[in-house]
């Protein structure tokens, strides 16, 4: 696929990787950080940073699209696929949505079916190096087929839910589906 076909409508390609967030760039102590998976699952998960890094990881190269109109191609992430977390926790059939919980009360949610795509990853590395604070250290969710506000930084856990629970930006008028190919920026 050529670069023109990879660029969603209304987006411009950038060479750098801009940093956007609501509030300050967080300072997270990896020794105190814990990832928690809860909700409608058979096997709740609680993992320290060290334990999380022991889960089966992989590298993925994806594109990244910001709702403000820029896109960055070929970002190489290292981390744990969301579907790996789902296979460990075993969501119940009634679990249709996932609330992603991040630092300072930030949340977002997505259908479980979207998160189990082969390209959705909990990233702890970027471009062969550990993830930086600016890009969400110690853990960032990356959802390439959605605008970047669905790719929460400073993730601390997930909650599997029966019904959708709109998050920080969705409550402020941004699209809950956030599909860049359909330009779903606002609700």
How confident is the model over 104-115, as pLDDT tens digits?
Answer: 899 999 999 999
Local confidence band at 4 (pLDDT 50, 70, 90 cut-offs)? confident
Average pLDDT for 146-152? 97
Q: What is the mean pLDDT of the chain?
A: 95
CA distance 186 to 31: 38
- Strand ranges, E, within 40-147: 45-48, 58-65, 70-81, 97-102, 107-111, 121-126, 129-130, 140-142
The owner of tokens 């990879």 is 6
Average pLDDT for 102-131? 97
Q: Please report the pLDDT score of residue 2 as a whole number.
A: 73
Phi and psi torsions of 83, nearest 5°: -65, -20
How confident is the model over 5-60, as pLDDT tens digits?
Answer: 899 999 999 999 988 777 777 889 999 999 999 999 999 999 999 999 999 999 99
CA distance 161 to 71: 30
Q: Parallel, antiparallel, or unpaired: how do β-strands 58-65 and 97-102 relate?
A: unpaired
| Domains in the chain: ranges and CATH | 30-171 (3.90.420.10)
Q: Please report the pLDDT score of residue 12 as a whole number.
A: 95
**Nearest to residue 74, comparing CAs of 87, 84, 52, 59?**
59
């Amino acid at each position: 696929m050529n670069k023109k076909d990879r660029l969603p409508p209304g987006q411009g390609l950038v060479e750098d990787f801009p940093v956007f967030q609501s509030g300050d760039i967080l300072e997270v102590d990896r020794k105190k950080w814990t990832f928690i998976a809860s909700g409608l699952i058979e096997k709740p998960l609680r993992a320290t940073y060290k334990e999380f890094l022991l889960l089966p990881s992989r590298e993925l190269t994806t594109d990244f699209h910001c709702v403000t109109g820029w896109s960055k191609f070929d970002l190489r992430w290292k981390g744990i696929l969301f579907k790996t977390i789902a296979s460990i926790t075993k969501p119940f059939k009634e679990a249709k949505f996932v609330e992603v919980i991040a630092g300072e009360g930030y949340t977002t949610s997505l259908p479980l079916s979207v998160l189990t795509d082969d390209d959705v990853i909990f990233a702890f590395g970027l471009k062969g190096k550990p993830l930086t604070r600016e890009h969400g250290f110690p853990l960032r969710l990356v959802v390439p087929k959605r605008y970047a506000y669905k790719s929460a930084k400073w993730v601390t856990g997930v909650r599997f839910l029966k019904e959708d629970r709109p998050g920080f930006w969705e409550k402020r008028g941004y699209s809950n589906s956030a599909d860049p190919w359909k330009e779903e920026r606002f609700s």
